[in-house]
Chains A and B, each alone.
Chain A
């Protein structure tokens, strides 16, 4: 089975937002990066699928050359190949241009199944997985927390506002991964050594114009300073009064 995990490097949770001089972007100075949390689950599920079904795992990312650190980590965990679709300005990509570039690469790889995170924790669109599947004409199951995958298709569970859905699908398919699906492994020392001899291909992605125009970026208005209304259960009446009369939410 040809298995692909699509991953993205994102700023760490601690990254602070500073406006860039153009007023339409953020200044990334000082940011540290990591593999997006849900993409870690995608890599793990790809590796588990390979262990059960056989085949090869290719990790694909759209981003700068610096993403080789995160891709190398995926190789150390057991992925076979890494591809960086090198983009001069990844921040300018919108979900459509990202999905189209990934679709072109996945088609070229002849993949049977693609795993990706349910959302990348920077732009938080949660759109690329289903868009990618639609451009490929494939099945897609989003936000999956339990999966049984066979050679032809499978069954997945996902939780929506009205309950837990069981979804039956056939391959090829895109699966977006939610927490609960698995526990990502750590790279072993052997894996880290083996990853050193694996190659990470850098390629130009399919050129797709963005349809998104940034009018402006602002920092959110700071919240009005709050106050401690008191200590222990004795403070409850003061809180109730504040919620009723000031905040008017009770």
Chain B
């Protein structure tokens, strides 16, 4: 069976969900997975990577600060040493930074943000969106090593492997660029790309002071992140990290709730592949209702408290 090397991310020993999905994608493509992880607490996440389908976990061990170029060189070396025919990384900010460098070291091309994986005989085939999801391309490669990043929420973690082999490999020290400080996110705050549920607010929220209602709805779901439309980010109501759309982040959660967002093409480009879309807007002709599975016509500030209470009640029943 083909060996697939996966760049697996963890934070302080906690495996990141997008990496577990990436391992699952590699398994679905028919590979034996070698997960390579790094950073503080790396070995603590090894069991979680095994549980998601990695047969082997290699921890890049080093004491220096994280360097994307040094890490990419180490990953390329693992790919070469293991004779892998594919390299995958999650399409997270870090994964999208590392994977192109690994591909360049191997002198092969990269397929970013793939949403589906199929093996066709000896070669790999992937699905990926073009033009912000307006078209879907099935692609394959003539490269000796197939490199791709997998979109968060598009794949499920793989079947567990009992007692994966865990080893250490010395990390290359130094690097041309190094991370000298990380201002960590509030614990438990999910990124909009990784969350299973996204609650986004737009101009219909009427002002930045009302976004507490968006946060409360997200908190009621538990596994949710907050998002925002371009209009409210440009107006300075919300940080850019929350922006969903062509000039923000592309998300594909199980459930996307657009509150007070009219649904400009710009925004739709970032969330059209969400599994279920709910729209709340006071304008019954808003374009967002054309895409939404379920809509409520009404004032966001009036509907949100009722919805938050109802979601809390529904969750309490479980």
Using CB atoms and an 8 Å cutoff, list the residues of chain A in contact with chain B.
11, 13-17, 19, 26, 37-38, 94-97, 99, 121-131, 133-135, 138-143, 145, 155, 158-170, 173, 178-180, 210-220, 223-224, 226-233, 235-237, 239-240, 242-244, 247, 249-250
Contacts and interface: CB of A to CB of B under 8 A. Distances in A.
A1 B77 CA distance: 34
16 contacts: A17-B131, A95-B100, A95-B103, A95-B112, A96-B107, A97-B109, A121-B132, A126-B100, A139-B177, A161-B18, A166-B179, A180-B240, A211-B141, A213-B140, A215-B140, A231-B297
A135 B104 contact: yes
A162 B184 contact: yes
B248 A179 contact: yes
A179 B247 contact: yes
Given A96-B110, A160-B92, A127 B297 contact: no
Interface of B: 11, 16, 18, 68-69, 72, 92-94, 96-101, 103-105, 107-113, 125, 129-143, 176-185, 191, 193-194, 197, 233, 240-241, 243, 246-248, 250, 254-255, 265-266, 269, 272-273, 275-278, 284, 289-299, 302-303, 305-307, 310-311, 314-315
A161 B92 contact: yes
Given A17-B131, A131-B103, A220-B136, 17 more contacts: A26-B131, A124-B113, A130-B68, A130-B72, A130-B100, A134-B69, A134-B72, A134-B101, A163-B183, A168-B180, A213-B142, A218-B136, A218-B138, A220-B134, A226-B293, A232-B303, A239-B310
Nearest to A139: B176
A236 B311 CA distance: 9
A230 B306 CA distance: 14
B265 A229 contact: no
B144 to A, nearest CB: 9
Nearest to A162: B11
Contacts of B184: 162-163
Given A168-B177, A247-B293, A96 B109 contact: yes
A13 B265 contact: yes
A78 B180 CA distance: 34
A123 B130 contact: yes
Contacts of A15: 131, 134
Given A130-B97, A161-B16, A226-B294, A240 B139 contact: no
Nearest to B66: A165
Contacts of A213: 139-142
B266 A13 contact: yes
Nearest to A123: B130
Given A167-B177, A217-B135, A217-B137, A228 B310 contact: no
B240 A131 contact: no
Contacts of A212: 109, 111, 139-141
A236 B296 contact: yes
Contacts of B290: 226
Given A26-B131, A165-B181, A95 B136 contact: no
A172 B97 CA distance: 18
B11 A121 contact: no
The interface centre, meaning the residue of A135, A169, A226, A229 with most chain B CB atoms within 10 A of its CB, is A226
Given A134-B69, A162-B184, A95 B296 contact: no
A127 B94 contact: no
Nearest to B146: A211
Given A235-B296, A235-B298, A226 B177 contact: no
Contact of A218 (B11, B135, B233): B135
A226 B292 contact: yes
A146 B218 CA distance: 29
A13 B104 CA distance: 30
B137 A216 contact: yes
Contacts of B275: 249
B136 A219 contact: yes
A134 B194 CA distance: 28
B86 to A, nearest CB: 13
A164 B185 CA distance: 8
B104 A130 contact: yes
B101 A130 contact: yes
A14 B177 contact: no
A138 B108 contact: no
Nearest to B134: A17
Nearest to A159: B241
The interface centre, meaning the residue of A161, A214, A217, A231 with most chain B CB atoms within 10 A of its CB, is A161
